């Protein structure tokens, strides 16, 4: 590794301004060596590089050069993530999962800085939504002010920022390639104006549903929760059916889309099962990426939104019921809480799947009995086929796995009971009624 100290050339004055290019080169080499040290688990070399990057009081101008170098490399690593199929929410979630919440916040700032390079018309709606949820905006003044502002916000000293930056670069530059589920920023928008207006209507409808479900989950009165959930179900069901028929009538050729849904520890396996049964019931498919902490869900946009809302609502209800059951111990006093909760969530997912399939048969009868019912079934069957084809194209080597074993009978029984009491917020009228058996 090149020793990271600047010295003026022979006969050259030690002018800080003329030293900046040399500082930039030195900082770049140090940052690269710090990343390599992380790759080979060389903690000593990593800490040495961080210490030098963090400050050299004898070299005016060094701090700014090092900051600019790290910021530029962070932005490049974000661009690399886009090229490998990652989206903003994926990056921030993964940074927090593999490192810390602080790394996630730094990733959010790096994303905000990188997104300035793209015209608003070249950023997909899904990206804009994720950026808004993340709060990925420029909250600092000039970019040179960001390091000090970030340290003040996080309550840390400069070495912590440097270490966090290098660790984040190392993480992002090592991201695996993912199947792309939407256009990356910089892609010209070719969407027709009518499609944009329809999407605005979708967002208004979804906002109403979210408000209803939030009230349903927070109320202490079961009758009120049931009424609110029923209204949410009515809105989503009508929208989903109308959307499918309208697309068929207008010749809308837009195919299935995708989104990634977090599946967090603890008990990630039964949570992934719950998402899978919810997706299957709503004419979508979920593919779990266990090591990455999320599932990719494929389906038509209206159905995808319903899957995410329903999964989130059911998971809130399941977690509340599971925690309410309290800790468990066996006859010898040994803790059985983990096995109980694992069995609880597996049973909950299995029973919810049964309830969704039962509701599907009733919803099919109601839809086909109404006006336009004969036209509806072929339309939805064609959409099912389109989703299956999309899954096969995106994941050609997809392997199916069996659910894990359950060793706690008490947890299984309690989980099924909780599922029987759960409100199928948002989709009981459609709940996959039109999936082919």
Could you tell me the CA-to-CA distances from 190 to 81, 123, 250, 374, 417 in Å, in that order?
24, 11, 18, 34, 49
Q: What is the pLDDT of residues 148-157, one digit of tens each?
A: 999 999 999 9
Q: Find the helix packing angle between 301-324 and 268-281, rounded to 10°.
A: 140
Q: What is the pLDDT of residues 84-95, one digit of tens each?
A: 999 999 999 999
285-289 and 257-262 beta bridge pairing: unpaired
Quote the CA–CA distance of 363 and 373 in Å, as a whole number.
11
Per-residue pLDDT for 107 more than 80? yes
Average pLDDT over every residue of 322-340: 77
The pLDDT-based confidence of 283 (bands split at 50, 70, 90) is confident
**What local confidence, expressed as pLDDT, does residue 337 receive?**
77
The pLDDT-based confidence of 426 (bands split at 50, 70, 90) is very low
The overall average pLDDT reported for the chain is: 80
Where in the chain are the domains?
16-173, 238-421
For residue 185, give both structure tokens: 């920023």
The pTM (predicted TM-score) of the whole model is 0.79
DSSP per position, 299-339: E-HHHHHHHHHHHHHHHHHHHHHHHHT---B-TTS-B-HHH
Average pLDDT over every residue of 213-225: 66
DSSP per position, 196-208: HHHHHHHHHHHHH
Quote the CA–CA distance of 103 and 120 in Å, as a whole number.
26
Quote the CA–CA distance of 74 and 78 in Å, as a whole number.
6
Average pLDDT over every residue of 188-197: 55
**What local confidence, expressed as pLDDT, does residue 105 receive?**
97
Nearest of 36, 18, 72, 28 to residue 52 by alpha carbon: 28
For residue 64, give both structure tokens: 């700014």
Q: What is the pLDDT of residues 382-402, one digit of tens each?
A: 888 999 999 999 998 876 655
């Amino acid at each position: 590794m090149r020793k990271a100290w600047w010295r003026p050339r022979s006969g050259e004055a030690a002018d800080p301004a003329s030293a900046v290019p040399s500082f930039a080169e030195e900082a770049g080499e140090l940052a690269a060596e710090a990343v390599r040290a992380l790759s080979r688990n060389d903690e000593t070399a990593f800490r040495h590089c961080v210490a030098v990057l963090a400050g050299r009081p004898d070299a005016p101008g060094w701090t700014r050069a090092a900051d600019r170098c790290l910021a530029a490399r962070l932005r490049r690593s974000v661009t690399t993530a886009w090229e490998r199929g990652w989206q903003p929410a994926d990056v921030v979630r993964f940074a927090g999962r593999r490192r810390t919440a602080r790394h996630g916040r730094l990733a959010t700032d790096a994303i905000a800085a990188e997104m300035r390079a793209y015209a608003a018309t070249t950023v997909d709606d899904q990206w804009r939504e994720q950026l808004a949820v993340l709060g990925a905006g420029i909250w600092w003044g000039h970019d040179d002010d960001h390091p000090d502002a970030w340290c003040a916000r996080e309550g840390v000293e400069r070495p912590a920022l440097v270490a966090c930056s290098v660790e984040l670069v190392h993480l992002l530059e090592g991201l695996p390639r993912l199947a792309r589920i939407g256009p990356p920023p910089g892609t010209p928008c070719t969407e027709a104006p009518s499609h944009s207006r329809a999407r605005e209507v979708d967002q208004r409808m979804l906002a109403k549903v979210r408000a209803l479900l939030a009230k349903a989950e927070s109320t202490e009165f079961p009758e009120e929760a049931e009424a609110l959930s029923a209204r949410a179900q009515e809105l989503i069901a009508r929208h989903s059916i109308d959307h499918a028929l309208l697309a068929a009538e207008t010749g809308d050729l837009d195919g299935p889309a995708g989104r990634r849904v977090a599946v967090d520890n603890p008990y990630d396996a039964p949570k992934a099962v719950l998402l899978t049964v919810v997706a299957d019931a709503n004419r979508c498919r979920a593919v779990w990426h266990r090591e990455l902490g999320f599932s990719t869900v494929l389906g038509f946009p209206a159905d995808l939104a319903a899957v995410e809302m329903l999964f989130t609502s059911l998971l809130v209800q399941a977690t509340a019921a599971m925690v309410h059951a309290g800790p468990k111990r066996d006859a010898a006093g040994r803790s059985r809480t983990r096995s109980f909760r694992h069995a609880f969530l597996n049973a909950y997912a299995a029973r919810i799947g049964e309830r969704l399939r039962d509701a599907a048969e009733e919803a099919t009868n109601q839809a086909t009995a109404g006006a336009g019912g004969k036209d509806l079934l072929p339309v939805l069957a064609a959409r099912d086929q389109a989703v299956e084809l999309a899954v096969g194209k995106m994941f050609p080597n997809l392997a199916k796995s069996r659910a894990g074993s359950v060793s706690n009978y008490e947890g299984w029984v309690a989980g099924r009971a909780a599922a029987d009491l759960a409100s199928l917020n948002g989709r009981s009228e459609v709940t996959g009624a039109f999936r082919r058996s």
